[in-house]
Amino acid sequence: MSSNPIDEDGFHSIAWDDAPPRTAISPHSPFDEDVGEGFETISSTSATHDEVNASASTSTATPSAAGLGARREGQQSVEADAAEWNGRWMSIEVREPLKEHEGSKDMYVSYAVKTQTNLPTFPHTVIVTRRRFQDFVFLRDHLVRSFPACVVPPIPDKHRLEYIKGDRFGPEFIERRRLDLQRFADRIARHPTLQRSQLVNDFLQSTEWTVAKHHHISHPPPESHSSLMDSLSDTFINAFSKVRKPDGRFVEMAEELERFEEGLTSVERLVGRGKGRIDDLSTDYQDMAAAYQGLGYLESGITEPLNRFAEKMLDFSALLKHMNQSTVEPFLIQSHSLSAYTASHRNVIKLRDQKQLDFEELSAYLSAIVSERDRLAALNSGHSAAPVGLGTYLRDQVDKLRGTDDIHTRRERIRKMDGKITELQEAVTTAHETSTAFSDEVLKEHTVFELSKKEEMKEILQTYADGQVEMLQRAMDDWDRIIPLLQRIRVDV
């Protein structure tokens, strides 16, 4: 029997895993393996595609025995074989917005966060807490710091225009923000690493959230080797440098994400234009209904049928507007959110490229120091040194004029360079290990992201198609009822 996928990738993450203390678990639980901290515990092997697929899917599978309802109205609950996903699942609902301290200057909106899960890190299968928007912002910001190799979903912005207009406590704004936060929570619940982090655990179930926040602030994640690079005052890392040896896997990955974003943007523009045309068509049907009502008053024999026909036109106009509000606008909002999620993934790939660039720059600097050290050693031995660049040649000439180009000075420089070389060798080794581990994590993150993207695209397109079908079906039913009435009209010529 194959091993459980969670056993493979587990918490061995470059993202400085901070899994909470675990309760008693059965001997065969996939969460039994020891959990380490920091870069020292980075797994040397990367999980296979199938392993990551299974691991990522554990957060979305919902056993039928749990009887969990849909988060959104009309959405069917997901059922899966418990053995296939090892029975691990999580569902997060953001609902019931409530105005706190209403009427005062400290007024804000809190949201009920209901978590249903059987992860062993949660003592209860159902937990309900209340969190405000700023708490979600705190969660996202600290997840980014603690899990740099993870694609942390973006948080909705503060909609500054509503803050200026004073509409941020209006029902439409609150509902739109709730839906944005729901998408953020869904992505966290689907992520096999983030869903089990200590920060998410505290966010979802802590009754002393303020204390938990201060604890996370006072215990920041460990720094990477970049701080060591900053301490090397003799080197200058160009922030605009390009990777010398690009990894084809990540180049293709970045190009794929860019193409997806471009396609999604094109679809948004197309659907947006269609939305404008439907609004215009709705207005035209209203005008036509008024015209038919006027015609009905002129034709006394068919006034009733024409008025009924005009009413159906008004109903169809209202139906078109309703479809725009309930189907097209959510499609545009969700696709824009998915585009922002894709941008977060591209930022992680850029960070991976920076890790590789750090390694390449350190390696090049080490090579230059070693070459200079060998050149000075050759001069001290009375041998001809290797050809040097113009800068080194000019410096040597200046040293000769100053009288500092002697064997004792060169020996002191060699001694200092030996210490620098030792330091750089350690830094290069650390940078290489970090770059390799980061690359492995990004490969797994890409698989997790693709699974999440697939689920979201399926939901977005299904909701859009269902809304279109519902509108057309209701329109057909309305027109089918009015057609017999119109066919009975007889006009004397």
What confidence tens digit (pLDDT) does each residue in 406-455 have?
667 777 888 888 888 999 999 999 999 999 999 999 999 999 999 999 99
pLDDT value of residue 73: 39
Place of tokens 């070459």: 371
pLDDT value of residue 435: 93
Please state the domain count of the chain. Answer: 2
Name the band, by pLDDT with cuts 50, 70 and 90, for residue 29.
very low
| Cα dihedral 445, 446, 449, 455 sign | negative
Per the model's pLDDT, the better-predicted residue between 166 and 110 turns out to be: 110
What CATH code is carried by the domain that includes residue 121? Answer: 3.30.1520.10
Q: Are residues 293 and 202 part of one domain?
A: no
pLDDT value of residue 240: 57
Domain termination residue (choose one: 164, 198, 222): 222
Q: Are residues 292 and 183 part of one domain?
A: no
pLDDT value of residue 470: 92
Per the model's pLDDT, the better-predicted residue between 71 and 215 turns out to be: 215
pLDDT, tens only, 215-242: 889 888 776 444 444 444 334 444 557 8
- Mean pLDDT across the stretch 193-210? 91
Task: Using DSSP, state whether 139 is helix, strand or coil.
Answer: helix
Q: Are residues 317 and 205 part of one domain?
A: no
Q: Is residue 42 part of a domain?
A: no
- 344 pLDDT above the threshold of 90: yes
List beta partners, residue 149: none
CB contact at 8 A, 178 and 130: no
Amino acid at position 92, single letter: I
pTM over 0.95: no
Q: Is residue 248 part of a domain?
A: no
pLDDT value of residue 385: 53
Q: Are residues 218 and 272 part of one domain?
A: no
- 397 pLDDT above the threshold of 70: no
Q: Is residue 426 part of a domain?
A: yes
pLDDT, tens only, 296-331: 777 777 788 888 888 889 999 999 999 999 999 999
Q: Are residues 425 and 291 part of one domain?
A: yes
- 493 pLDDT above the threshold of 90: no
**Highest-pLDDT range among 37-41, 58-62, 64-68, 475-479:** 475-479
Q: Is residue 234 part of a domain?
A: no
Half-sphere exposure of 144 (CA within 13 A, CB side): 13
CA distances from 60 to 114, 124, 298, 454 (A): 15, 18, 62, 12
Name the band, by pLDDT with cuts 50, 70 and 90, for residue 181.
very high
Task: Using DSSP, state whether 244 is helix, strand or coil.
Answer: coil
Place of tokens 């926040």: 213
pLDDT value of residue 233: 38
- 462 pLDDT above the threshold of 90: yes
Q: What are phi and psi of 368, to 5 degrees?
A: -65, -40
How far, in Å, CA of 421 to CA of 71, rounded? 58
Pairing between strand 108-117 and 90-100? Answer: antiparallel
Q: Is residue 383 part of a domain?
A: yes
CB contact at 8 A, 149 and 441: yes
Q: Is residue 316 part of a domain?
A: yes
Name the band, by pLDDT with cuts 50, 70 and 90, for residue 402.
low
pLDDT value of residue 473: 93
pLDDT value of residue 403: 58
Q: Is residue 247 part of a domain?
A: no
Name the band, by pLDDT with cuts 50, 70 and 90, for residue 135.
very high
What's the chain's average pLDDT?
A: 76
Full strand arrangement of the beta sheet holding 108-117 = 90-100, 108-117, 126-132
Q: Are residues 297 and 414 part of one domain?
A: yes
Q: How far apart are the first and last CA of the chain?
A: 85
Q: Which structural domain range is residue 375 located in?
A: 268-487
pLDDT, tens only, 470-479: 999 999 998 8
Domain termination residue (choose one: 207, 222, 237): 222
Q: Are residues 279 and 138 part of one domain?
A: no
CB contact at 8 A, 18 and 199: yes
Q: Are residues 322 and 212 part of one domain?
A: no
pLDDT value of residue 5: 39
CA distances from 174 to 97, 189, 460, 487 (A): 7, 22, 21, 48
Q: Which of 98, 94, 78 is nearest to 184 (CA)?
A: 94
Q: Are residues 74 and 214 part of one domain?
A: yes
CB contact at 8 A, 198 and 400: no
- 356 pLDDT above the threshold of 80: yes
pLDDT value of residue 49: 41
CB contact at 8 A, 365 and 235: yes
List beta partners, residue 130: 112
Which two tokens mark 237?
Answer: 């890392």
Per the model's pLDDT, the better-predicted residue between 403 and 216 turns out to be: 216
pLDDT value of residue 395: 61
Q: Are residues 401 and 314 part of one domain?
A: yes
Q: Is residue 301 part of a domain?
A: yes
Q: Are residues 171 and 95 part of one domain?
A: yes
pLDDT, tens only, 241-286: 788 888 899 999 999 999 999 999 999 999 999 999 999 999 999 9
List beta partners, residue 134: none
List beta partners, residue 92: 115
Q: Are residues 360 and 294 part of one domain?
A: yes
Neighbouring residues of 241: CB distance < 8 A, sequence distance ≥ 6: 357, 361
What CATH code is carried by the domain that includes residue 303? Answer: 1.20.1270.60
Domain termination residue (choose one: 222, 257, 288): 222
Q: Which of 113, 120, 122 is nearest to 87 (CA)?
A: 120
- Mean pLDDT across the stretch 459-476? 93
